[in-house]
């Protein structure tokens, strides 16, 4: 348990004894279904991934256990990194599109009425 001055890690890797690096559980602290489900979707689109899923161990805990299994000797950290980057790109696109539409709306409101 982290003390008052200590920061707990945002991400931990948990590997079973003897498991290769293609089968890893990542513990993401201070996260819930919002990140878990969207990240799972992005990672499952990767053809090198055999399995990707997550669980929330208890409703009062703010962490998710995120499991990735890959094929062909690909380390599980690669699809995690790729999925996070792709999800970030999608979120940035949505934010940019939304902001552009808000700006268009504001410009229309400022036009003089005839």
CATH code, domain with 83: 3.30.1360.10
The pair of structure tokens assigned to 89 is 């790109």
Burial of 78 (0-12, 13-18, 19+ CB in 10 A): middle
Q: How confident is the model at residue 13 (pLDDT cuts 50, 70, 90)?
A: confident
pLDDT of residue 113: 67
Cα→Cα distances 22→69, 72, 78, 81, 100, Å: 5, 8, 9, 13, 41
The domain total for the chain is 1
Is the per-residue pLDDT at 5 higher than 70? no
Residue 2 lies in a domain: no
Q: Quick check: is 45 in a domain?
A: yes
Q: Say how many residues make up the chain.
A: 114
DSSP-derived letter for residue 82 is: H
| Confidence check: pLDDT of 28 > 60 | yes
For residue 53, the enclosing domain spans 11-110
Inter-CA distances, 50 with 44, 65, 91, 97, Å: 8, 17, 25, 33
The pLDDT assigned to 4 comes to: 58
Judge whether 5 lies within some domain: no
């Amino acid at each position: 348990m982290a003390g008052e001055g200590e920061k707990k890690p945002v991400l931990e890797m948990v590997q079973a004894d003897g498991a290769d690096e293609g089968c890893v559980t990542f513990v993401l602290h201070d996260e819930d279904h919002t990140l878990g489900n969207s990240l799972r979707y992005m990672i499952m689109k990767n053809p090198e991934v055999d399995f990707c899923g997550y669980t929330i161990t208890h409703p009062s805990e703010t962490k998710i256990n995120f499991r990735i299994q890959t094929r062909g000797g690909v380390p599980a950290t690669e699809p995690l990194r790729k999925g996070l980057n792709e999800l970030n790109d999608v979120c940035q696109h949505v934010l940019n599109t939304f902001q552009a539409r808000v700006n268009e709306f504001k410009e229309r409101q400022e036009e003089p009425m005839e």
